[in-house]
A and B are shown apart, each in its own frame.
Chain A
């Protein structure tokens, strides 16, 4: 059985397929998988040669066989996949001349599409495309699934989930790294491996992209971060071109020379990728023979990851930003109710800029659909930040839903010592991977002694073991209690922290700010307690990175404990103005500047400051009408006349936005006039992913007090209609960049005309002009952003 041999004896994959098919006449751009039906003998022959060369595992010719690549093919995909499996079996019959056990691996390559939010392929659609092929492959008799050449962790996750949920076959997963050890989508070795281990693949590793020489250091990095069997399948060198043909020139002999180091380093499954031949494989099987895999140690790093980065929790203390949590935050509650994701995203960006390394995400409110909100928040946050997220919810459905679509290995907040909680959360962590926060409380509450909390930590660790969740994937929270209600409670927390560290060697986390509740000068108490907790062994503090006191404690602690090499972090932050200011901000003047001038010159800080000054004497509404709008008008007129250009117009808009947010804070809720502001829907139409134009229009409309409902990009006509009907919106703005998407703009207009005839439609975008706009039936063509503002004003003036 494969699973019994895996990781014990070195197993041999086959080598390249594409290059050999090309030698047999396959043209560039032709789909090689069609050959399973049209050139069976050639395909079988290649497989047979590999078996004869000693391969234990031969891949089916299905690398690109998925519904997303075969949409228009005249051949049935199911036939292609089924034939592919049969060909390998047939080749095994022909090519294996002794009684050794060999395996047919269903080969799964990338879809060739980029997943949302980077591209337009939905995660679940990718999942379905993989699932379909995998079911066919299993039915046809494949022995394992090998997902390979993936350059995107997100697509890899969709494929692994499909393999594990839709089949009972072992899953091998390899990714394509560059010479710097990065995926094309930016992830490093550690984050990719953390995700794959979390998802529970049977073996993982690297293939394609590089030759054995360049792969060696990356292989070594993989081995140093994973406890699973490692697969290595290099190309026969880096690709070269001659007379228009791509070729690889590392000879079998040279190949084996480096592969020997890789086997000695602990590789469990080896083979070749592009440009390798049965000769390369034969040289390996003959040189290495049936060899035992070098024993690998269990790695005990506690790692969370996003698509771009990994954060290690038990190395140097990390900051988890606590701001995306509605508890006690009025503005965030409002944002959640209004589905104002921009606000949530900005909170994320701000915390990252302030130094957070992980973001906690809690969107639980009594009246909202938490599952939908959590999914959306996680997915949108991952489109603008590469920080790993901590999914924070008590709702198991919301938790699973978010863990499923999360790109990477998430942090999960939380499980407790209650049996019910552990029964709910651990299966999810086992399935999707993750580092889970274990709260030291159980059915009888929170123990008021350190020993009691340590005992519950032990219980959680033990229960996790039953699921195969190792200690490294737990972070224990010994709970911060309010010191004012029990003066001994801070001491208990610190003792418990030290205790769990000593007894279990597990990573730890604490929500810090709770300590000071009910006492004055909370910042000082929080910061001092934070320092004490760090000294007691705290690995991750869930704190407000906007609190200067807290960040000062954090940076000081690192500096004082030798964890800030050359004091770079500390000096960077506190060493005066030389650090990182230049290049970040556009030239600024200092000193006082009236609001109108600040807006016209596009000075954000000055505009906010001037607005604050004016608020001392006037109310918000009159400031807006007297200074803000007239300044914007002047800039807008200048833009029209050609004396002000787009960047200047937008700098003014950004400055006005800053002033506006200061003024809005000061407005009593009833005067805010939220309900009276005219609503405008903006969307980039279906199929279109370019949204800069729409975003520009949005900022300008908002400045002119329109309530913009931004539906984003790639928005289906039905979604736009639904929003227009639900919110009774009278004006919709649509943007499209290319001729290929004007059709969906036209379709959207047609739908709105039919179902919501009182709604006007304005359009804009690179591909459009007045003639085109007339042709597709738009009410207005905005040749630039200001034109849409004027049109919106005109429309609502009439109404």
Chain B
């Protein structure tokens, strides 16, 4: 099973259990339908970073208070802001299946999330190589909503990226990204190859979560 499929299975709540054939069939079909429908786009910008203390960071001239983020970016000199989306077509597809076939809607929901993660991973891999040539090392991606990094920061991040214009990524009044299958994230850039600070699941303090990555 490839990583993307494994992630989709995890999002569907299988934990350590083996996935059944029918669901696997649905997952494969969903990925193939998504590959036709998704219009993946990404926008990023590199900003100067200052970390005055262990609970705030300054990105460009934007001040963010977050202990978790400050820890993630410790020792970095620059930071990449990025936004990525699968596009509005995926939302239409999800709405449609919610009406006609809710099993497929739920599976596609998980697949879309996994697809987006993979897209970011692949992009990041390329970006990492590019930055390595200039002597920069990347930290794990970190998104608004992780730990004490407020989801309210979404607004300023989108604005600094000009994300609406560049990739059609916007947010609602309650700070939810639209199209829904989208992310914003930060990646610290440092001169040293430190392994400190993991990303995503491993960083989360909720250790009893059924969706937690088992590795």
> Which of B50-58, B172-180, B191-199 lines the interface with chain A?
B172-180
Given contacts A110-B165, A383-B92, contact A119 B61 (CB under 8 A): no
8 Å CB contact of B156 from A29, A119, A688, A737: A29
- Residue of chain B at shortest CB distance from A182: B39
8 Å CB contact of B160 from A28, A688, A689: A28
- Residue of chain B at shortest CB distance from A110: B164
Does A571 reach chain B (CB closer than 8 Å)?
no
Q: B99 and A176: CB pair below 8 A?
A: no
8 Å CB contact of A583 from B13, B33, B168: B33
Does A584 reach chain B (CB closer than 8 Å)?
yes
**Binary flags per residue of A713-729, CB closer than 8 Å to B gives 1, else 0:** 01000000000000000
> Which of A133-141, A607-615, A640-648 lines the interface with chain B?
A640-648
8 Å CB contact of B92 from A29, A110, A386: A386
Q: A692 and B109: CB pair below 8 A?
A: yes
Query: Distance (Å) between the CB of A739 and the closest chain B CB?
Result: 7
Q: B39 and A647: CB pair below 8 A?
A: no
Q: B48 and A244: CB pair below 8 A?
A: yes
**Binary flags per residue of A259-271, CB closer than 8 Å to B gives 1, else 0:** 0000000000000
Query: Distance (Å) between the CB of A524 and the closest chain B CB?
Result: 31
> Which of B14-22, B65-73, B114-122, B135-143 lines the interface with chain A?
B14-22
Given contacts A28-B60, A110-B164, A646-B12, contact A349 B45 (CB under 8 A): no
Q: B164 and A186: CB pair below 8 A?
A: no
Query: Distance (Å) between the CB of A275 and the closest chain B CB?
Result: 13
Does B185 reach chain A (CB closer than 8 Å)?
no
> Which of A45-53, A510-518, A650-658 lines the interface with chain B?
A650-658
8 Å CB contact of A647 from B12, B165, B170, B172: B12
B87 / chain A contacts, CB cutoff of 8 Å = 184, 186
Q: A692 and B46: CB pair below 8 A?
A: no
Does B32 reach chain A (CB closer than 8 Å)?
yes
Q: B22 and A648: CB pair below 8 A?
A: yes
Within 8 A of B (CB), among A100-159: 109-110, 112-114, 117-120, 149, 151-152
Q: B170 and A119: CB pair below 8 A?
A: yes
**Binary flags per residue of B20-34, CB closer than 8 Å to A gives 1, else 0:** 111101101100110
Query: Distance (Å) between the CB of B27 and the closest chain A CB?
Result: 8
**How far, in whole Å, are A18 and B13 apart by their CA atoms in the complex?**
47
Given contacts A648-B22, A696-B106, contact A119 B168 (CB under 8 A): no
Q: A29 and B102: CB pair below 8 A?
A: no
Query: Distance (Å) between the CB of A515 and the closest chain B CB?
Result: 32
Q: A185 and B168: CB pair below 8 A?
A: yes
Does A7 reach chain B (CB closer than 8 Å)?
no
Does A40 reach chain B (CB closer than 8 Å)?
no
Does A521 reach chain B (CB closer than 8 Å)?
no
What interface size band does chain B fall in? 35 or more
Query: Distance (Å) between the CB of A376 and the closest chain B CB?
Result: 15
Within 8 A of A (CB), among B76-113: 78, 87-89, 91-92, 94-96, 98-103, 105-107, 109
8 Å CB contact of B105 from A385, A692, A740: A692
- Residue of chain B at shortest CB distance from A649: B103
Q: B22 and A587: CB pair below 8 A?
A: yes
Within 8 A of B (CB), among A717-755: 737-741, 744
Query: Distance (Å) between the CB of A254 and the closest chain B CB?
Result: 23
Dominant secondary structure of chain A at its interface with chain B: loop
**How far, in whole Å, are A308 and B180 apart by their CA atoms in the complex?**
18
Q: B102 and A699: CB pair below 8 A?
A: yes
Given contacts A186-B89, A346-B100, contact A687 B160 (CB under 8 A): no
Q: B17 and A29: CB pair below 8 A?
A: no
Q: A586 and B170: CB pair below 8 A?
A: no
Does A787 reach chain B (CB closer than 8 Å)?
no
Of the listed residues B25, B41, B87, B106, the one surrounded by the most CB atoms of chain A closer than 10 A to its CB is B106
Does A76 reach chain B (CB closer than 8 Å)?
no
Q: A738 and B151: CB pair below 8 A?
A: yes
B48 / chain A contacts, CB cutoff of 8 Å = 244
Of the listed residues A151, A384, A738, A744, the one surrounded by the most CB atoms of chain B closer than 10 A to its CB is A384
8 Å CB contact of B99 from A29, A349, A651: A349
Of the listed residues B25, B96, B103, B173, the one surrounded by the most CB atoms of chain A closer than 10 A to its CB is B103
Query: Distance (Å) between the CB of B2 and the closest chain A CB?
Result: 17
A690 / chain B contacts, CB cutoff of 8 Å = 176, 180
**Binary flags per residue of B144-164, CB closer than 8 Å to A gives 1, else 0:** 010000011000101110001
Does A345 reach chain B (CB closer than 8 Å)?
yes
Q: A184 and B167: CB pair below 8 A?
A: yes
Does A695 reach chain B (CB closer than 8 Å)?
yes
Given contacts A110-B165, A739-B151, contact A687 B174 (CB under 8 A): yes
**How far, in whole Å, are A386 and B45 apart by their CA atoms in the complex?**
33
Does A670 reach chain B (CB closer than 8 Å)?
no
Query: Distance (Å) between the CB of A180 and the closest chain B CB?
Result: 9
Does A577 reach chain B (CB closer than 8 Å)?
no
Given contacts A112-B170, A114-B88, 16 further A-B contacts (CB under 8 A): A27-B60, A118-B91, A246-B45, A308-B89, A346-B100, A584-B29, A642-B17, A648-B22, A650-B106, A651-B22, A653-B102, A687-B172, A692-B105, A738-B145, A738-B151, A740-B176
9 A–B pairs (Cβ distance < 8 Å), ordered by A: A118-B88, A152-B168, A186-B39, A349-B99, A349-B100, A642-B17, A645-B13, A689-B172, A689-B180
B interface list, Cβ under 8 A from A: 12-14, 17, 19-23, 25-26, 28-29, 32-33, 39, 41, 45-48, 60-62, 78, 87-89, 91-92, 94-96, 98-103, 105-107, 109, 145, 151-152, 156, 158-160, 164-168, 170-176, 178-180
A interface list, Cβ under 8 A from B: 27-29, 109-110, 112-114, 117-120, 149, 151-152, 176, 182, 184-186, 208, 239, 241, 243-244, 246, 308, 342, 345-346, 349, 383-386, 583-587, 601-602, 642, 645-648, 650-651, 653-654, 687-692, 695-696, 699, 714, 737-741, 744
